[in-house]
Amino acid sequence: MKKTLLILSIITLILAGCKKFDEIEASKVEIEEEKIEKGWDYIKINVEYDYPVELEAVSLYLSEKEDMSGAETHECNVEGKKFSVEVEGLKAGKDYYYCYEYYNEYEKVKGEKQNINTISKPVVITKEVSSVNTISATLNGSVTNNDAINKVSEMGFCWDTKQNPTIEGNHYNNGGMSGTGTSDFSYNLTSLQDNVTYYVRAYANTNYGIVYGEEKSFSTVEITLPIVTTKEVTNIGTSTATCGGNVTSEGNGIIISRGVCWSTSPNPTINDNKTTDGSGIGLYSSNLSNLSDNTTYYVRAYATNEKGTSYGEEKSFTTVEIVLPTVTTNTVTNIKATTATCGGNVTSDGNSTVTARGVCWSTSPNPTINDNKTTDGSGTGSYTSNLTNLSDNTTYYVRAYATNEKGTSYGEEKSFTTLERTFENGYEYVDLGLSVKWATCNVGASKAEDYGDYFAWGETSVKETYDEDNCLTYELSYSELQAQGYIDSEGNLTSSHDASTANWGGDWRMPTYDELKELSNNCTWTWTTQNGVNGYNVEGPNGNSIFLPAAGFRNGSSLCNAGSSGYYWSSTPGGYYFDLLAYYLIFGSGDHYMLNHGRCSGLSVRPVVE
């Protein structure tokens, strides 16, 4: 019995000694490492401690008050010499107080009180939306970051036609911000729909999450059809007219097209004929074209914006009727064997452009443009026509004509009879009413416009070169010319040394000095172009005429001044003071007169006959 009591006393003593040991050690738990992770609404704590044995449990006491009143208890997860705890649902940017309570087998011991705080959230403000119109608006916002731990990687706006928009939908990243402080920002939002309500929130994206500002809403302006009026129709012609309009309202949109539209039926639209006359509001003018004459048209101004097309009031007008032109026939003049001059005067174009005019002729009355005709320009007014390739000694009927869009009209009919052609030894001549008759072309030519051949004075053959070395009369004096039979007793070339007589035969000869001077002084000279060749039309006192081409002259092997000047030999050598020269006729576009010239150059020859 005594032995049993002794054993119980020893066990009791041992147990009492262990309890004392545990109480002492539990109060001496030492924190070797405390790692704290915190956010806006949570803290995470991982602790390593030093203690002879593993604790049974650890609790975290957390309070918003320094005296720890109202503290919440959170059980820690204990594993070996470590424990951890995570607390959520806290307030952002809030100071908290905490301590640990350690459990061993016998009692609880609290550690010392400590301070901790959560991270404060950025302050995101969605400001009022400004500059709202039909398709755009300016979003405004700001972000204030007071906690350097927050890293604001982006800030901007998100929007939608539904409430509570997020960055999962439409959004704009305005960039991030470094450090703390306040950043104001804005964004011009475009490509919106008119008359629609939008919701917008500013946001800030940080390494701890996204913060949205208060939601704002705005409604875009409604686009309506433009307002346009139609101007009066003016400048009405046969195929054209002038109209226009005035866009007085864009309908809160943008005028992308404006003009007028027209049709021969009422209420024309842009699907009919139309003009396009710029964009925007204001007055504009429109030119209507390709209309039909004597036709009633209906016209309306139009203006188009994003909403559609609107029209001004309707106007109507009737285009001018096109009639045939009015033309008179001139008197026929300069009647020759194969040519004559006529013309006309277009006094009215018949409300349409005269595209062709001239004269037409035939050997039968009432000639038309299907017979022989000239084409002498266009438009109204007087004009001259040259009739060619006529037959001599023939009666012709001639009428002026004018053609416009409507057709061709004719002037009164005139008639004339061409002269009978006269020939000497197969070559034609013209009586100009002078002392001799004049050939119609140069020696070596087949028609009046041809330049023909060139001769040194007193020579009858064409040469390759014309110079002093091969000139037969270059150094012959007047008396030597007579002695060698070059000139006759009257001082003119003899027939054997006359280029006209030698080449044409018959009674043809070169004109004398006096005969060329008579042609120069007693005729009317008109510089002209005949069949593309420059020269003079020389009209005699009786109204008949010849054409002298500006054939130039030959010097050496070169043709000089062709097209600008003419040089024609007489058969008369120079006088006493011009012993080694010969007389010739020279002309340019401004004058004509007689001169002396060296005999070696090659000049033109125009024959005459008695």
pLDDT, tens digit (0-9, with 9 covering 90-100), for 532-589: 999 999 999 998 899 999 999 999 999 999 999 999 999 999 866 667 899 999 999 9
Token digits of residue 65: 């008050």
**236-265: average pLDDT:** 96
Mapped onto helix, strand or coil, the DSSP state of residue 390 is coil
326-417 matches 123-219 in CATH topology: yes
Q: Are β-strands 216-219 and 197-206 bridged in parallel, bridged antiparallel, or unpaired? A: antiparallel
pLDDT at 471: 96
DSSP per-residue codes, 13-75: HHHHHHHHHHHHHHTT-EEEEEEEEE-SSEEEEEEEEE-SS--SEEEEEEESSTT-TTPEEEE
Q: What is the pTM of this model?
A: 0.50
Q: Are the C-beta atoms of residues 257 and 304 closer than 8 Å to each other? A: yes
Domain 326-417: CATH architecture, name and number where available: Sandwich (2.60)
Distance CA 342, CA 328 (A): 11
Which pLDDT score is estimated for 337?
A: 87
Residue ranges per structural domain of the chain:
22-117, 123-219, 227-318, 326-417, 422-609
Residue 506, pLDDT score: 95
Burial 302-318 (b: 16+ CB within 10 A, else e): bbbbbbebbbbeebebe
Residues 6 or more apart from 332 whose CB is under 8 A from it? 340, 341, 342, 398, 414, 416
pLDDT at position 408 is: 98
- 3 state SS of 545: strand
Name which of 37-41, 147-151, 454-458 the model is least confident about.
147-151
The predicted-structure confidence for 442-462, as pLDDT tens digits, reads as follows: 999 999 999 999 999 999 999
| Region 22-117: CATH code | 2.60.40.10
Residue 418 reports pLDDT greater than 60: yes
Residue-level pLDDT at 107: 83
Task: Round to whole Å and give the CA distance between 100 and 58.
Answer: 7
Contact yes or no for 120/147 (Cβ under 8 A): yes
CB of 358 within 8 A of CB of 403? no
Mean pLDDT of the chain: 93
* Residue 7, pLDDT score: 32
Output the pLDDT for position 492: 95
pLDDT at 87: 97
Q: Does residue 377 have a pLDDT over 70?
A: yes
pLDDT at 547: 96
pLDDT class of 18 with cuts at 50, 70, 90: very low
- Architecture in CATH for domain 227-318: Sandwich (2.60)
> What is the mean pLDDT of the segment spanning 407-417?
97
Q: Quick one: pLDDT band at residue 25, thresholds 50, 70, 90?
A: low
Query: So what's the pLDDT on residue 359?
Result: 98
Label residue 432 by pLDDT band (50, 70, 90). Answer: very high
Does 13 have pLDDT greater than 60?
no
Q: Does 524 score more than 60 pLDDT?
A: yes
CA–CA separation, 523 vs 542, rounded Å? 9
Residue 219, pLDDT score: 97
Answer whether 255's CB lies under 8 Å from 247's CB.
yes
The per-residue pLDDT for 575 is 67
Read off the tokens for 44: 């995470």
pLDDT, residue 28, reads 77
In a 3-state reduction of DSSP, which class is residue 548? strand
pLDDT at 26: 55
Q: Which is nearest to 555 in space by CA: 457, 465, 463, 430?
A: 465
**What CATH number does domain 123-219 carry, 3.40.190.10, 3.40.50.12170, 3.30.1280.10, 2.60.40.10?**
2.60.40.10
- Inter-CA distances, 298 with 238, 322, 600, Å: 15, 20, 81
- Residue 414 clears pLDDT 70, i.e. is over it: yes
In the chain, the percentage of residues whose pLDDT exceeds 90 is: 88
- Give the mean model confidence (pLDDT) for residues 272-287: 97
Predicted pLDDT at 24: 41
Query: What confidence score (pLDDT) does residue 179 get?
Result: 86
Q: Is the pLDDT of residue 3 over 80?
A: no
Which position has the token pair 């203690």?
51
First to last CA, the chain: 199
Instruction: Please give the Cα distance from 314 to 302 (Å, whole number).
Output: 10
- State residue 336's pLDDT score: 84
Least confident of 22-31, 132-141, 366-375, 567-576: 22-31
